[in-house]
Structure 1
Amino acid sequence: MDDSATPRGASGHTAPARPTLAAVARAAGVAASTASLAFSGSGPVSEETRARVLAVAASMGYDGPDPRARSLRRGRSGVIGVVMDERLSDAFRDPVNVLTLDGIAEVAGEAGASLLLVRSPLDDERGMGPLVDAPMDAVVLVGCNVRVDPAVAVLRRRGIPVVAIEADDIEGAVPIQLDNREGSRRAATFLRDLGHTDVTVVTLPLDATHQLGPISDARFAAGAAFTTMERLRGVRGVFPSCVAIEAGGSSVEAGRVAGESLFGPGGTRPTAVIAQSDLLAVGVISSALEHGLRVPEDVSVVGFDGIHVDDSLLHRSPIRQLTTLVQPFVQKGQAAARAALAMLEGDAPSGASFRSELRVGDTTAPPRA
């Protein structure tokens, strides 16, 4: 997002302040990241929303991001790259990624920096293409795992500062962490205190292969996804022998598929399920309801994220709110952007650690006798 300095005329008098992208976004009733994508002409923005943003911008006299961003040091592009560790077409289906990007966009926009969404290496047949030559002053990695090591090596050779959101230790990168392990441990402890002993975990993918089904010891040992493994370690700190089912991604449909293996014919039917995202939790609940089970009377379900859930199957049930771990997505993005900007200004960047909070809804209860 670009907001420029207040220009001065030849007489030295201050000219009227140039409208900012943040102001346009507020007037259009959208997030700053959505307004930026509307101007770029790409990304998951509907034509209706794009037209509204552009119309509001025109009425305010704002003709697009100003490349003369004032707050970044001279000679730089004024661009912060955001690298998603999955294909962009998939990344924007997950509200967590969108809300994190909103946090990055808010801070970057206020500083006059632009954002560049960089395709994951998975999207690029040439491998590291965009990371090699894209004009960027700093990079924020979102949803990291060990597959980004080659990308980090490229960025390090270019001398580009790196901020990593929820990643294993990456040399030279500023970490922005979430208590994935401890948060999951709290959720598991909550279920144990309710009396549950038969708990299954439905996990996010362990690596880029997106395998489906039970996670063996060998599969876990070979896992690459930091967040997935940390959340599973947290649950197994309370239920060491709990079954774990790997889902194909963070989506309602992936949760339904995992739920089918639990509640369908021949399923193990645990008394409680911990899903590693709220979207997965909604899918698991939908599958349970489709098989005639009641939530939470027959099976309790806990999610992770704290997003707004809007699923038709849940609306046709008495369920109104998930029991879930609420994470501060926007604040994570803001902290990442502040660290990136600090490095660009030559200041010492600060990492950050955030805590999730257990919010008890109406999808958990003691197991049936």
Structure 2
Amino acid sequence: MTLRDVADTAGVSISTASLVFSGRGPVAAATADKVRTAAQSLGYAGPDPLASSLRQGRSGTVAVIVEDRLLHAFRDPFALTVLDGLAQELDAMGQSMLLIADPGGEEQANPLAGHALDAAVFPLCGRTDSPFVEHLLARDIPMVGAGSPRDDRVSHVLVDERGASRAATEHLLDLGHTRVAHVLMPLGPRHSTRAVAPGDATVELERAAYPDARDRTLGFLDAAPDGRLVETAEADVAEGERAGRLLLDVPPGQRPTGIVAQSDLLAAGVIRAAEALRLDVPDDVSVVGFDGVELPWLDHRLTTIVQPGEPKGRLLGQLARDALAGEPTRDVPLEVTLRVGSTTAPPP
């Protein structure tokens, strides 16, 4: 059965029947019901998507490339809000989302090679460069990112990571803290959380694989050049707790009174470490996060840098839409703000 058979049975034009199935045009409810009833009686399941893509010259699919394993992305509430915003925009465009995990191993086959794609989006924090860029360029597929991969041919939604991290650190300094520390997301692939010696910081930052972690560290050092640094192996609560113990399980005179973490999950881990050591937050130690996600299981209103995840995802989708329409695209800034909660106070 074909769409023409359905249209003839329903007594409508083939273009009207097509609009009913695509949902992209105004069709009277009674007419739409006639078309659906005709389709059901004929056993017609809908237009062949392959034939439709051949006619339109489009696959109807956008690759959404997620750094590392999908497991980590779906554990991060901020990543989920970005993906949700992006999915809403793609759905409104009639595009489907193809999630691709980029584990980063050069020896692995290119997971994009076997897929017909209209565009590609790098929605989350990733490496400075990506082996996918040249492959996508060779296929003339437009690319959109959230700060990485760093390439002039990729349009980005950009956050002033360095300025935001500096503002978070200055908040602690303005409260009177003089011993401050910074808990980093991984600067590159790591297997364990570790302290970064002050003399090694410059070298570590120069060879950092992840630009967001590097820029947030630079922002902290702009405001507190003598602050202590701990780099984690993963931006999650468990690694934040390990970093917190490294910083706080020391004699009181060596203990930082203020800690800036590069994500809210890391900040939550630092708070867990402080409480396990019987330190009060914020009376003994103040903690600042980054992202502004909801953490209902945390018994604090976190002081944090709020970057709105869903609007960020929507902006990524809008950039992809403009690129697919053949319009020139450019980098778009995303404003972030400091939200003062209950986890910061003057030092003891």
Q: Give the TM-score normalised by structure 1.
A: 0.78
The correspondence for 2:226, drawn from 232, 241, 251, is 241
Residue 165 (structure 1) aligned with residue 143 (structure 2): no
Q: Where do residues 204-353 of structure 1 align in structure 2 (5 Å cutoff)? A: 204-215=185-196, 216-217=200-201, 218-265=203-250, 268-311=254-297, 314-315=298-299, 319=300, 321-353=301-333
Q: Give the secondary-structure state (helix, strand or coil) at the position aligned to 1:104.
A: helix
Residue 175 (structure 1) aligned with residue 156 (structure 2): yes
**Offset, 1:184:** 1.0
The one-character-per-residue Cα deviations of 1:130-179 (angstroms, maximum 9, x if unpaired) are 12222211100133444643221221122211111122631311111012
The one-character-per-residue Cα deviations of 1:280-335 (angstroms, maximum 9, x if unpaired) are 10110010011010010000000011111133xx43xxx3x000111011111111
Q: Which has the larger radius of gyration?
A: 2
CA contact (8 A) 1:184 1:234 kept: yes
Q: Where do residues 110-121 of structure 1 align in structure 2 (5 Å cutoff)? A: 110-121=92-103
- The whole-number CA distance in structure 1 between the counterparts of 2:46 and 2:75 is 26
5+ residue gaps, structure 2: 1-5, 24-44
- The whole-number CA distance in structure 1 between the counterparts of 2:117 and 2:109 is 14
**Offset, 1:127:** 2.4
CA contact (8 A) 1:200 1:243 kept: yes
Q: In the alignment, residue 283 of structure 2 is paired with which amino acid?
A: E
- The whole-number CA distance in structure 2 between the counterparts of 1:212 and 1:310 is 26
Q: Where do residues 14-163 of structure 1 align in structure 2 (5 Å cutoff)? A: 14=16, 17=20, 67=49, 74-122=56-104, 126-146=107-127, 148-163=129-144
Residues 283 and 88 of structure 1, relative CA distance in 2, 3 Å threshold: same
- The whole-number CA distance in structure 1 between the counterparts of 2:186 and 2:51 is 39
Q: In the alignment, residue 132 of structure 1 is paired with which amino acid?
A: A
Q: Give the secondary-structure state (helix, strand or coil) at the position aligned to 2:156.
A: strand
Residues 175 and 325 of structure 1, relative CA distance in 2, 3 Å threshold: same
- The whole-number CA distance in structure 2 between the counterparts of 1:326 and 1:64 is 44
Q: In the alignment, residue 340 of structure 2 is paired with which amino acid?
A: V
Residues 346 and 119 of structure 1, relative CA distance in 2, 3 Å threshold: same
1:9 aligned residue: 7
CA contact (8 A) 2:263 2:291 kept: yes
Identity across the alignment (%)? 38
- The whole-number CA distance in structure 2 between the counterparts of 1:179 and 1:237 is 14
Q: Give the TM-score normalised by structure 2.
A: 0.82
The alignment of Structure 1 onto Structure 2 pairs a total of residues equal to: 312
Residues 64 and 189 of structure 1, relative CA distance in 2, 3 Å threshold: farther
Runs of 4+ in 1 over 6 A off after TM superposition: 63-66, 68-73
Residues 195 and 202 of structure 1, relative CA distance in 2, 3 Å threshold: same
- The whole-number CA distance in structure 1 between the counterparts of 2:51 and 2:163 is 40
- The whole-number CA distance in structure 1 between the counterparts of 2:185 and 2:245 is 16
CA contact (8 A) 1:71 1:112 kept: no
Residues 242 and 130 of structure 1, relative CA distance in 2, 3 Å threshold: same
- The whole-number CA distance in structure 2 between the counterparts of 1:66 and 1:212 is 51
Residues 221 and 349 of structure 1, relative CA distance in 2, 3 Å threshold: closer
Residues 144 and 255 of structure 1, relative CA distance in 2, 3 Å threshold: closer
CA contact (8 A) 1:296 1:365 kept: yes
Q: Give the secondary-structure state (helix, strand or coil) at the position aligned to 2:272.
A: helix
